[in-house]
């Protein structure tokens, strides 16, 4: 692949504009829609690492510059020009986006306060218009305590999959810089710019028309769902409660492994389809609805074309696929398991006019199928977790009090993060205590595990 630096104008998916504003010509957001995301520059995710006490800022700065040069999306700039959002990649800079502080003279309590202040400052350090969209904080805590490296990225530009690539490359670049070596990163895969141009050419060619029609037919097969939303414990936001919390439940490893095998051998489906059925059976009766709309998060990097490789491309490819599941139906393979249908949704996401062509019901103003169903449950199945990457200089860690919830505004949505960890399914339900009692979410989580267990068939 070409390792040249990519700059200049880059195609920008229309679906991303929902994070920037809601000013769409000929489009109407339903009144029941709540804004589920923070403002664009506050849509920040982060990674936290421990580093050896001897880490020098010069080495960390060199590593950051190498990563910024290598991954073009990290130099994204967004601006609204003549009513249209435009994306460009800026040329590489010679000044790393690094803030450093020596906390070694402070006591433990003072250090903790300083760390939290630096963390909060990092959350407001990014700008999609002016840059940077990635920043780093290095905190030295003395000879007997590991230093901290906090890495912030705008989540509109860097999805979770990309953050893992970024961590590995920053660690590799830092290891080389600390040894005084020339920094060499793995070869680039297809650039964000080349991918966007390819998608635009497919849209213009009409070659995906059959798959777009199949996707539309599947969406039209869904039963209607009333717009009332999920039942709330607080009708109005209770600001006395914290903004976010989570409940985690697990399924026994032996049962998990049986269900993974039986998903294919008995249900002729994916394990994800079983998870969606169990979620529908847990939530739909509680919500009093005949079917559960859910946003199913996919990595968006299906190998559709032989000459396109996104495996090491940093960007925002993850997408939420709307699916609607009836709790009274047995698990079955969702049509969205077909990569061609998923790519058809990518095309609609890229072009609002294309989406309108296939999804319009003839009413004015136009409202997309996604917004008509307004899914308030998000499902993110990360699959089977492996061992942490072999990072040499940076050790990932997550402090309990830094729950990864700031990338979503306070809302009535429920986010279900699912993964198989050490053989057992782990289900983390993220929610806002300003709308739900913890006991409510705990009951839903327990019911989900019970419904999933009930799908197991005896040999």
State pLDDT tens for residues 18-30.
778 766 555 555 5
pLDDT at 27: 56
What pairs with residue 349 in β-bridges? none
DSSP letters of 418-457?
Answer: EEEETTEEEEEEEE-TTTS-HHHHHHHHHHHHHHHHHT--
Task: Kindly give, in sequence order, each residue whose CB lies less than 8 Å from that of residue 88, ignoring residues fewer than 6 positions away.
Answer: 7, 8, 9, 10, 76, 77, 79
Return the SS3 of 263: helix
Sheet hosting strand 84-89, strand order edge to edge: 8-10, 84-89, 76-81
Tell me the average confidence (pLDDT) per consecutive run of 10 residues in the chain, 459 residues long: 82 84 59 64 90 89 98 95 89 96 93 91 93 96 89 94 94 95 96 96 95 97 89 94 93 97 97 98 97 95 95 95 97 97 96 93 85 93 74 77 51 93 95 96 98 93
Give yes or no for a contact between 73 and 157, defined as CB atoms under 8 angstroms apart: yes
- Cα-only R_g, the chain: 23
Domain 194-454 has CATH 1.10.10.10: no
Place of tokens 């402070």: 106
Burial class (CB in 10 A: 0-12, 13-18, 19+), 6: middle
CATH no. for 8-190? 3.30.559.10
Question: Where in the chain are the domains?
Answer: 8-190, 194-454
Give yes or no for a contact between 267 and 454, defined as CB atoms under 8 angstroms apart: no
pLDDT at 409: 61
What DSSP element (H or E) covers 414? Answer: strand 414-421
Closest CA to 20 of 39, 44, 42, 47: 39
Closest CA to 427 of 409, 455, 453, 399: 453
Summarize pLDDT for 333-360 with one digit per residue, the tens: 999 999 999 999 999 999 989 999 999 9
pLDDT at 61: 98
d(CA 406, CA 41): 12
Task: Kindly give, in sequence order, each residue whose CB lies less than 8 Å from that of residue 80, ignoring residues fewer than 6 positions away.
Answer: 20, 21, 86
Angle made by CA atoms 115, 401, 431, in degrees to the nearest 5: 140
pLDDT at 384: 87
Please, what's the b/e burial string for 342-366 (b: 16 or more CB within 10 A of its CB; e: otherwise)?
A: bbbbbbbbbbbebbeebbeeeeeeb
Return the SS3 of 380: strand
Please determine whether the domains at 8-190 and 194-454 fall in the same fold group of CATH: yes
Beta strands in 141-275 (DSSP E): 147-154, 245-251
Predicted TM-score (pTM) of this structure: 0.91
d(CA 420, CA 229): 29
Count Cβ atoms below 10 Å from residue 290 Cβ, excluding itself.
Answer: 15
Count Cβ atoms below 10 Å from residue 453 Cβ, excluding itself.
Answer: 15
Place of tokens 């141009």: 197
> Given phi > 0 = left and psi -120 to 50 = alpha, else beta, which region is 299?
alpha
Please, what's the b/e burial string for 181-215 (b: 16 or more CB within 10 A of its CB; e: otherwise)?
A: eebebeebbbbbbbbbebbeebbeeeebeebbeeb
């Amino acid at each position: 692949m070409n390792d040249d630096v990519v700059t200049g104008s880059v195609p920008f998916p229309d679906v991303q504009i929902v994070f920037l504003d809601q000013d769409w010509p000929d489009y109407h957001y339903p009144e029941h829609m709540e804004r589920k995301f923070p403002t664009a520059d506050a849509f920040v995710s982060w990674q936290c690492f421990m580093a050896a006490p001897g880490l020098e800022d010069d080495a960390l700065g060199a590593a950051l510059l190498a990563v910024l040069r290598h991954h073009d999306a990290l130099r994204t700039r967004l601006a609204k020009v003549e009513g249209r959002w435009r994306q460009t990649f800026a040329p590489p800079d010679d000044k790393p986006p690094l803030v450093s502080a020596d906390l070694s003279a402070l006591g433990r309590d003072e250090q903790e306060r300083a760390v939290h202040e630096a963390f909060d400052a990092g959350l407001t350090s990014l700008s999609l218009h002016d840059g940077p969209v990635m920043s780093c904080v290095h905190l030295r805590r003395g000879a007997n305590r590991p230093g901290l490296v906090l890495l912030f990225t705008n989540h509109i530009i860097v999805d979770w999959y990309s953050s893992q690539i970024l961590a590995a490359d920053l660690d590799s670049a830092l290891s080389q810089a600390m040894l005084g070596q020339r920094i060499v990163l793995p070869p680039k895969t297809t650039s964000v710019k080349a991918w966007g141009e390819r998608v635009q050419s497919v849209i213009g060619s009409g070659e995906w028309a059959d798959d777009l029609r199949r996707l539309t037919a599947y969406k039209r097969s869904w039963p209607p769902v009333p717009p009332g939303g999920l039942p709330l414990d607080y009708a109005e936001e209770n600001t006395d409660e914290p903004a976010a919390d989570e409940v985690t439940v697990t399924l026994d490893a032996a049962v998990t492994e049986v269900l993974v095998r039986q998903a294919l051998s008995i249900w002729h489906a994916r394990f994800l389809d079983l998870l969606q059925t169990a979620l529908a059976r847990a939530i739909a009766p509680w919500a009093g609805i005949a079917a559960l709309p859910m946003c199913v998060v996919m990595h968006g990097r299906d190998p559709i074309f032989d000459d396109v490789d996104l495996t090491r491309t940093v960007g925002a490819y993850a997408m939420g696929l709307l699916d609607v599941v009836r709790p009274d139906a047995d698990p079955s393979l969702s049509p969205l398991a077909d990569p061609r249908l998923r790519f058809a949704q990518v095309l609609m996401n890229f072009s609002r006019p294309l989406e309108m062509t296939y999804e319009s019901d003839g009413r004015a103003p136009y409202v997309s199928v996604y917004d008509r169903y307004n899914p308030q449950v998000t499902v993110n199945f990360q699959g089977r977790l492996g061992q942490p990457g072999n990072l040499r200089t940076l050790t990932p860690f997550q402090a309990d009090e830094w729950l990864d919830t700031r990338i979503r505004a306070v809302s009535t949505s429920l986010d279900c993060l699912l993964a198989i960890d050490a053989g057992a399914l782990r289900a983390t339900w993220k929610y806002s205590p300003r709308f739900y009692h913890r006991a409510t979410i705990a009951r839903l989580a327990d019911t989900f595990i019970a419904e999933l267990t009930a799908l197991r068939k005896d040999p």
